Amino acid sequence: MKKFLMGAAAALAIAAPGIASADTTGNIDLSIGNTEFENGGEFDQTSLGGAVQFDAMSGWTVQLDGRTSTVEFDGSSGTASTSYAAVHANTNTGAWDFGGWAGLVNYYGTGGWTLGGETRTSFGNFSVNGSIGYASFDSFSDLDVWSYQVNGSYFFNPNLAVNVGAARHDLDYSSGKAEMTDLSIGGAYGFNNGFELYGNYMNSDIDFSPGGGYETDSWTLGVRYHFNGGSLQDNANEGASWNAVRNISDAMGRFD
């Protein structure tokens, strides 16, 4: 609970400057979820985080985002946690936004850092973003992770969308390697007062070398409050919607 309250304080700290300045946009995000492992076991997850975006210099924006998740495994009397914090810098080149990030990631007491590049664009009612990232966890068997992600949204109207995503995470550690493939589908609905309701389902397939593997099935339900922003489509195309580090953090939570 202490770590979750710290996450709440961090989310409020992120939101405070955005509420005060109309030039700053962002969101506060609260979600619950469940992950089931094919080979037995499951965990429930409660997450609190946020993001804020502001102009840094001519043609460039900066996004700060972070999240803390409290995880309770089936049959366990205690809780664990995953978290991340990241800074992104991005520029608009016309049809495309390009940029990158640096951040810190922690899962179940194992800390690491991450770097990567990202891009996004839109075609009519379609919005797309993609990224290539790297993470290193030297305190856990010298674990290195390469992450490749693409996510897309189709907007039936500016506040109603269906979302799909695909990602591959290549993990290399002292005793072997693993490949994680994520496929997801979900939806989101935005209200005129800035609130958004969303849901998501994800299947992850993890293969180990040498031998073995497992699958997980995860669902998430959440509410997100957007401040100083427009529609969901506006936020996806121009707002604090860079999500690569959050997805890497989620992936590490499913790595057993």
For residues 153-165, average pLDDT: 98
CATH number of the CATH domain containing 169? 2.40.160.40
Q: Are 252 and 107 in contact (CB under 8 A)?
A: yes
Question: Is 94 a residue whose pLDDT tops 90?
Answer: no
- Bridge partners, residue 29, by sequence: 49, 224
Among 73-82, 163-172, 245-254, the minimum mean pLDDT is found in: 73-82
Six-digit token pair at 116? 């990567």
When pLDDT is cut at 50, 70 and 90, the band that residue 187 belongs to is very high
Domain that holds residue 195: 2-253
Q: State the pLDDT at residue 139.
A: 65
Question: What ranges make up the beta strands (E) of 58-190?
Answer: 60-73, 80-92, 96-107, 110-123, 126-137, 143-157, 160-173, 176-190
Averaged pLDDT, 222-246 = 95
User: Distance between CA 132 and CA 118 in Å, rounded?
Assistant: 7
Please name which of 20, 97, 26 lies closest in space to residue 66, comparing C-alpha atoms.
26
pLDDT of residue 211: 81
| Listed range (8-22, 94-108, 110-124) with the worst mean pLDDT | 8-22
What whole-number distance in Å separates Cα of residue 111 and Cα of residue 239? 28
Mean pLDDT of 18-45: 84
Mean pLDDT of the chain: 89
pLDDT of residue 23: 76
pLDDT of 249 strictly over 60: yes
β-bridge pairing 195-209 and 213-227:
antiparallel
pLDDT one-digit tens code per residue, 103-118: 999 998 889 999 999 9
* Pair 187, 199: CB distance under 8 Å: yes
Is the pLDDT score of 83 beyond 80? yes
* pTM of the complete model: 0.89
Report pLDDT for 12. 45
Nearest alpha carbon to residue 243 among 180, 192, 200: 200
Alpha carbon separation from 125 to 9, 36, 57, 121, 157 (Å, rounded): 36, 33, 29, 11, 8
- Chain-centroid distance, C-alpha 221: 14
What domain count does the chain have? 1
How much is the average pLDDT of 195-214? 94
Q: pLDDT tens for residues 38-55?
A: 888 899 999 999 999 999
